[in-house]
């Protein structure tokens, strides 16, 4: 089955700096790559996603890049703010699994003022 | 309702007991997923329903775990002979898309503690 690796497990940045989280996946058939944000004690919520026919997608301060050849994708957050502090999960899915998402282990991001 | 509803929010049980966790998805969402999340980990896929049928149950850890969705809406995750290792937050999610690139809408989860 699909195996998603995520790095780093923790990340601390100063407010205003950029944060980058990287993920790799194993199943070359994976074609959908969402990112979820989970605040402490809350449910995961989708923040951005990318499909395999696109190399990059941007939404205000967040962007995701995908390298299908290398089987890795990254989340970029610019001009970080304290409210960006949360756990971020990458995921990958394929039609072979009915699009059930396989999640990475998460990155705990702390943005200090 | 406005979102995915899960009950109970917290369940404490003794080892060996039977538990049921309920999920009420967003109205009209045909796809329903169960995940399990342990502390400090990402959600771990358990089972996926498309309508009433389990399209993929490859994530169920063993035959003590079973899930149903008899009318294609509400789903129940059933755990027999609970073990301490079953303690986790059980997340349910639903999606409008039937096997496409749909956003998963998660419930708040049911926190299961097995003593």
Task: Tell me what the mean pLDDT of segment A66-84 comes to.
Answer: 96
Task: Tell me what the mean pLDDT of segment B11-20 comes to.
Answer: 98
DSSP states of chain A: ---EEEE-SEEEEETTS-EEEEEEES-TT--EEEEEEE-TTS--EEEEEEETT-SEEEETTEEEEEETTTTEEEEEE-S--GGG-EEEEEEEB-GGGTT--EE---EEEEEE-
State how far the Cα of B79 lies from the Cα of A18, in Å rounded to an integer: 43
Query: Which residues of chain B have a CB within 8 Å of the CB of A43?
Result: 91, 106-109
Which of A46, A102, A104 faces B103 most closely, judged by CB atoms?
A46
Mutate to test the interface with B, among A21, A47, A100 (most CBs of B within 10 A): A100
State how far the Cα of A92 lies from the Cα of A71, in Å rounded to an integer: 11
State how far the Cα of A32 lies from the Cα of A26, in Å rounded to an integer: 13
Q: Does the pLDDT at position B108 exceed 70?
A: yes
Task: Tell me what the mean pLDDT of segment B3-11 comes to.
Answer: 96
Q: Does the pLDDT at position A98 exceed 80?
A: no
B25 Cβ under 8 Å from any chain A Cβ: no
Q: Does the pLDDT at position B101 exceed 70?
A: no
Task: Tell me what the mean pLDDT of segment A11-34 comes to.
Answer: 95
Angle at A38 between CA B45 and CA B94, to 5 degrees: 45
For A93, which residue in chain B has the nearest alpha carbon? B101
Name the percent of chain A lying above pLDDT 90. Answer: 78
Query: Which residues of chain B have a CB within 8 Å of the CB of A103?
Result: 35, 42-45
pLDDT for B26-52, tens place per residue?
A: 998 989 999 999 988 999 999 999 889
Closest chain B C-alpha to A80 CA, distance in angstroms: 23
Give the residue with greater pLDDT, B97 vs B3: B3
pLDDT for the residue numbered B45: 92
Q: Does the pLDDT at position A94 exceed 70?
A: yes
Mutate to test the interface with A, among B5, B92, B94, B104 (most CBs of A within 10 A): B104
B102 Cβ under 8 Å from any chain A Cβ: yes
Rounded mean pLDDT of chain A? 93
Closest chain A C-alpha to B27 CA, distance in angstroms: 18
- Rg of the Cα atoms in chain B: 13
State how far the Cα of A109 lies from the Cα of B109, in Å rounded to an integer: 22
Which of A46, A97, A105 faces B104 most closely, judged by CB atoms?
A46
Here the tokens at position B95 are: 């999606």
Here the tokens at position A85 are: 């502090």
């Amino acid at each position: 089955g699909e195996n998603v690796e995520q790095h780093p497990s923790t990340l601390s940045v100063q407010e205003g700096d950029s944060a980058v989280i990287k993920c790799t996946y194993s199943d070359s058939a994976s074609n959908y790559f969402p990112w979820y944000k989970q605040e402490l004690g809350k449910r995961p919520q989708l923040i951005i996603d990318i499909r395999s026919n696109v190399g990059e997608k941007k939404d205000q301060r967040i962007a995701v890049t995908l390298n299908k050849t290398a089987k890795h994708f990254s989340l970029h957050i610019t001009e970080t703010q304290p409210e960006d502090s949360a756990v971020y999960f990458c995921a990958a899915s394929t039609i072979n699994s009915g699009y059930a998402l396989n999640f990475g282990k998460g990155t705990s991001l702390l943005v200090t003022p | 309702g406005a979102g995915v509803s899960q009950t109970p929010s917290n369940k404490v049980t003794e080892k060996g007991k039977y538990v049921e966790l309920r999920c009420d998805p967003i109205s009209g969402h045909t796809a329903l997923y169960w995940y399990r999340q342990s502390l400090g980990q990402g959600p771990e896929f358990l089972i996926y329903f498309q309508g009433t049928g389990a399209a993929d149950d490859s994530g169920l850890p063993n035959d003590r775990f079973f899930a149903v969705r008899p009318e294609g809406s509400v789903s129940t995750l059933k755990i027999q002979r609970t073990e301490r290792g079953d303690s986790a937050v059980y997340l349910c999610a639903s999606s409008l898309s039937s096997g496409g690139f749909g956003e998963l809408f998660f419930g708040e989860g049911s926190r299961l503690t097995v003593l």
